[in-house]
């Protein structure tokens, strides 16, 4: 008899999600600089969102880390162990925050010319942050669901997708006039979601063949405790519906989106779903991991 209760829960899933979201938003802001130079509002939102999402994520991490709440000064120690993935993550997050806050301040001062080196550096760190969220879990070698090379790129794709979805959601709600400008961004969402779906399928298949613990994890997802969340929440709402909607919207012109209220509401709904799917992905991966049995 061995009953395993996950050590980490929704708070850490939220942290992983928000860090990825912030990174994804930053990357898209960079892309919009070239492809949609006039989508000021959306870009500014992206610049504001990236540091804020990351900070919110860190707050969740701290709420989970009750020892730090007892004594916040302990947090200085987070930089101590250069072998710890979490320490790397803290470095990535700090540098990312410095850059993204700088960029945000520049943007808020109505200065639309973000220094190029800053943007590029920020994009590189965005990738680091997004990948880190997968590596953090990946180094835990007793959990087959985590301990594989698929997870970091999977989380990266999901981070980009969530970043994009958040910008599109903002656009649909508050800056519909800019939506036609960011059509390129919208077109990226479809391949991202499809790649995510493929990653998910690969993760399921490979992990279920990895070990009995891996199979148990997958069973929990597809047929066990978490199966409703997995099939309806993640696969259907978080991935398939956005894919269908994105594919459909390719048929309509960007202009139609600006003008048709129905399409606008669909956009809002789909992006909310995509964001929910992004969180659910982290949550399910965190909760369904079963450790290798230590003694058989």
Contacting positions for other proteins (CB under 8 A): 1-2, 4, 7-8, 61, 64-71, 73-75, 77-81, 83-87, 90, 136, 139-143, 291-292, 294-296
Tell me whether residue 9 or residue 191 sits nearer to other proteins (CB atom): 9
CA-based nearest residue to 122, from 24, 18, 37: 24
Q: Shortest gap between Cβ of 294 and other proteins (angstroms)?
A: 5
| Token reading at 237 | 């709402």
- Return the structure tokens found at 220: 């929990």
Cβ–Cβ < 8 Å for 2, 285: no
CB of 188 to other proteins, least distance (A): 33
Minimum distance from CB of 49 to other proteins (Å)?
Answer: 25
Cβ(217)–Cβ(207) below 8 Å: yes
Least distance to other proteins from the beta carbon of 226, Å? 18
Nearer to other proteins, 264 or 282 (CB): 282
Check the CA dihedral 56-289-87-161 and report its sign. negative
CB 273 → other proteins: shortest distance, Å? 29
Asked whether the beta carbons of 119 and 103 are under 8 A apart, the reply is yes
By beta-carbon proximity to other proteins, the closer residue of 77 and 205 is 77
Nearest to other proteins of 139, 184 (CB atom): 139
Q: H helices of 223-295, where?
A: 227-228, 241-251, 254-259, 261-287
Q: Which residues contact 121 (CB under 8 A, 6 or more apart)?
A: 99
Rounded CA gap, 258 and 256, in Å?
5
Phi, psi of 2 (to 5 degrees): -140, 120
Looking at the Cβ atoms of 8 and 127, the one nearer to other proteins is 8
State whether residue 52 is helix, strand or coil.
helix
Cβ at position 69, least distance to other proteins in Å: 7
Residue 9 main-chain phi, psi, to 5 deg: -135, -145
- Residue with smaller CB distance to other proteins, 90 or 185: 90
- Residue among 34 and 83 whose Cβ is closer to other proteins: 83
The torsion defined by the Cα of 76, 80, 82 and 86, in degrees rounded to 10, comes to -50
* Rounded least distance, CB 11 to other proteins, Å: 10
């Amino acid at each position: 008899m061995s009953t395993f209760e996950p050590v980490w829960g929704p708070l850490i899933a939220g942290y992983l999600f928000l860090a990825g979201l912030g990174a994804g938003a930053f990357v898209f802001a960079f892309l919009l600089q070239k492809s949609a130079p006039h989508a000021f509002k959306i870009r500014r939102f992206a610049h504001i969102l990236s540091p804020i999402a990351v900070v919110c994520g860190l707050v969740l991490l701290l709420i989970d880390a009750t020892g730090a709440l007892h004594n916040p000064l302990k947090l200085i120690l987070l930089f101590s162990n250069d072998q710890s993935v979490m320490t790397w993550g803290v470095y990535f997050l700090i540098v990312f925050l410095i850059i993204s806050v700088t960029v945000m301040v520049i943007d808020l001062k109505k200065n639309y010319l973000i220094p190029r080196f800053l943007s590029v550096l920020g994009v590189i760190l965005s990738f680091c942050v997004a990948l880190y969220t997968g590596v953090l879990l990946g180094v835990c070698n007793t959990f087959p669901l985590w301990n594989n090379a698929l997870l970091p790129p999977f989380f990266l794709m999901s981070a980009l997708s969530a970043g994009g979805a958040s910008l599109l959601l903002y656009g649909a709600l508050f800056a519909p006039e800019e939506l036609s400008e960011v059509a390129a961004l919208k077109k990226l969402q479809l391949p991202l979601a499809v790649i995510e779906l493929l990653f998910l399928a690969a993760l399921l298949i490979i992990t279920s063949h990895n070990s009995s613990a891996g199979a148990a994890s997958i069973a929990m997802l597809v047929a066990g405790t978490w199966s409703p969340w997995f099939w309806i929440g993640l696969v259907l709402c978080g991935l398939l519906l956005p894919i269908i909607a994105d594919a459909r919207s390719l048929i309509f012109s960007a202009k139609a989106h600006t003008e048709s209220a129905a399409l606008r509401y669909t956009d809002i709904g789909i992006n909310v779903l995509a964001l929910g799917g992004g969180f659910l992905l982290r949550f399910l991966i965190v909760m369904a991991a079963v450790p290798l049995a230590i003694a058989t």
